[in-house]
Structure 1
Amino acid sequence: MLHESLIELDAIPVGRTGDGAGYTGWLRQLDLGGLSLTDVGSDPVRVVRAPRMLVGNQDDFYLLSIAQEDSSSLNGNVRSHLHRGDAVLLDSTAPFQLSADEFAHHLVLTLPRTDVARVTPVSRERVGRRIAAQNPVLRVLRATIKEIYANGERLDSDLLPELGNVLRELTFSVLRSDELTDQAGVNGLLGHQAQLLRMRDFIQRHLAEPDLSAKAVAAAFGVSVRYVEIVFRESGTSPARYIRSTRMEEARRNLASPQRRQRPIAAIARSVGIENPTVFTRMFRHFYDVTPSEYRQSQAGEHLRRSGTKTSPPR
């Protein structure tokens, strides 16, 4: 599969003998217009862009490879050890290697060198050098890719080029950011759409905090409350509305979960940042037209019907 993919590569198993029986691996490629996104996993392997593949070859791409498991890269004399979440920029016009002694898993963004060169010229020293997982712009890129894969088959094909443009801009920003860690610099690199993804991720991770608000988001990102409101308004909502809907959706999932059936409703309310059970019930009814207890009972009944379990009527 690698041999016939967008950029010709060889895959050499590491520490495996025999006919490959029991091999585990995959390669899934998503075409997003001016950029492709590849999810590739494999048993221990060494992936090689060999010198012979460059002879007479017209491939002219940059690859930003994001490690999902520990691995290493070799580009010329530059060897980089990659931990989970780290990334490395590779050049299709030069030999390189990616290898892993344990299970290998990378997300690879491939885009034409000419596109990158027009926006952010890349020095020879930049290629093959590790980009740390803590890089704030790289974190945004990883969150965006995660959101794309989470939607899976539900993605409208008409949206794919738009998603490709978002990923292209984020990839350019990662390359420009280098080891950028100051919040002001990150804000200067990212547009509203990328900032929205970061803010949504922040809200999801802080749902349990009762004082979560546009003010808290603004303080975390070093921007004004007005800026946060503008970013959310462009997506058709407001920070307060998004926080409420995210809290209710998380609470709904918890109430429907068989594993949390014994958990008190008040505890579920607190887990999404609502300390007053009466307020929680009122909000939940507003969103779903039923109380939390009614919803939990209906989901329990549905679970029993699906499992084929018979219940006796209450006495």
Structure 2
Amino acid sequence: MALLPTENTFPIIFLLLTIFSLSKAELHAHYYDQTCPQLEKIVSETVLNASIHDPKVPARILRMFFHDCFIKGCDASILLDSTATNQAEKDGPPNISVQSFYVIDDAKAKLELACPGTVSCADILAITARDVVAMSGGPYWSVLKGRKDGRVSKASDTINLPAPTLNVDQLIQSFAKRGLGVKDMVTLSGGHTLGFSHCSSFEARVHNFSSLHDIDPRMNTNFALDLKNKCPKPNNNRNAGQFLDSTASVFDNDYYKQLLAGKGVFSSDQSLVGDYRTRRIVEAFARDQSLFFKEFAASMLKLGNLRGSNNGEVRLNCRFVN
């Protein structure tokens, strides 16, 4: 026989609702202040040391964070290794070139010694993404924490990552599905100020682009010829490619200046100049780096707030579920 609530049961019901509400609470900057006060220092030192030894680390970590959050939220699912029965996200085609997972592994190992079983891999990744931007000359923001690590990672889900060939309509739609607006899309695209692309991601723009044009007519001619020389056909150099802006190791607004000059490497990047909805934002960021920095920090907070599974955990090893 079911029990009807009595006067004395309402406090219990209220308590249960409060506990459930707290479990769904928003992320906040001081989540680990009591349980792991050394967190930020340990992560920052790890990232700085790795970046000193490998200048490619900042761009790789920032890309890793984007690719993680765009698939079912920021839950560190990109860090999970494939198993005999499952191909994980990191082995999906768009993520084959994502590297430097060892940086997260190193930070996690140190944190497990300092505060065992406390800090999620998803929070570590969010902090490292902020740190690589700041140490490269970009903005600093307080990372909101409290994420849990997902237990599911499927390579097939990487088909949902925005490709470098998308047009503006497709980009807007992709970001909108994640609650991110047009300004967020243009702002986060500015993360390409750090980074390098292999020829495979843009060579179609400089070889037989269409029946009328050998190269993409939106491109600066001299820039296109330079890319064509770097990426000949056939191309036997798998490492050949192009930096995504002219100051690729510095986080700045040069990316937007390059777009206005017709020197966007990806078709998706260059498309931002050709649409009235996005061009005005590109122009504003090209004029005012401080504005770009302010908006980038705000959009990174929104991106980092994309939640993963409600049934997550704190992994003891970022490569494997507990």
Same fold (TM over 0.5): no
Which structure's CA Rg is the greater one? 1
Q: TM-score if structure 1 supplies the norm length?
A: 0.24
Structure whose residues are more often strand by fraction: 1
Q: TM-score if structure 2 supplies the norm length?
A: 0.24
- Which structure has more RCO (C-alpha within 8 Å, separation ≥ 6)? 2
